[in-house]
Amino acid sequence: MYDAIRPFLQSLKVVPEDVPFRQHLVLQPEARLKSQIVAPPMYARRPMFRFNLSSLFPDDVAAGELWLKADDPTSIAGARKALSNSRLDPSQADAVVDTLTREIALIQGCVRHSTPSLCH
């Protein structure tokens, strides 16, 4: 049993400053975390890179093409507004935009059944 979890336990011995995304995951004062800016993913920072969000709309909605540029506040705001007419509910739309525009994101989800909802 120990051999199965050995890699995980070994990784816990790493100095916290050596972990990926250390600026977001290593314990810091609350004020520093609140003021921290989370950049878009590295691949989304490439010149001319855009996400095509058109597939998030039902076929009967004439939305045209919707492009999201992860480092452009106007594009982000436009995508959030346009996604209000998409297949997604408002919280899902926000989660998609947040995930595509930040190098790290935490999304809380739930499972919906006909009765009852398992969302807490």
Q: In this structure, what DSSP letter does residue 70 have?
A: T
Q: Is residue 91 part of a domain?
A: yes
Is residue 82 domain-shared with residue 59, that is, in the same domain?
A: yes
* pLDDT interval class at 105 (50, 70, 90): confident
Contact 58, 87 (CB under 8 A): yes
89 and 52 in a common domain = yes
97 and 46 housed in the same domain: yes
User: Same domain for 66 and 25?
Assistant: no
Domain-located, residue 84: yes
Could you tell me if 50 and 42 are in contact, meaning their C-beta atoms sit under 8 angstroms apart?
Answer: no
- Domain extent for 97: 42-101
Is the pLDDT at 118 greater than 60, yes or no?
no
Q: Tell me which H or E stretch contains 77.
A: helix 73-82
Residue 106 lies in a domain: no
pLDDT for position 51 = 96
- What's the structural domain count of the chain? 2
| Confidence grade of residue 68 (pLDDT, cut at 50, 70, 90) | very high
What pTM value is reported for the model? 0.68
**Higher pLDDT residue, 59 or 75?**
75
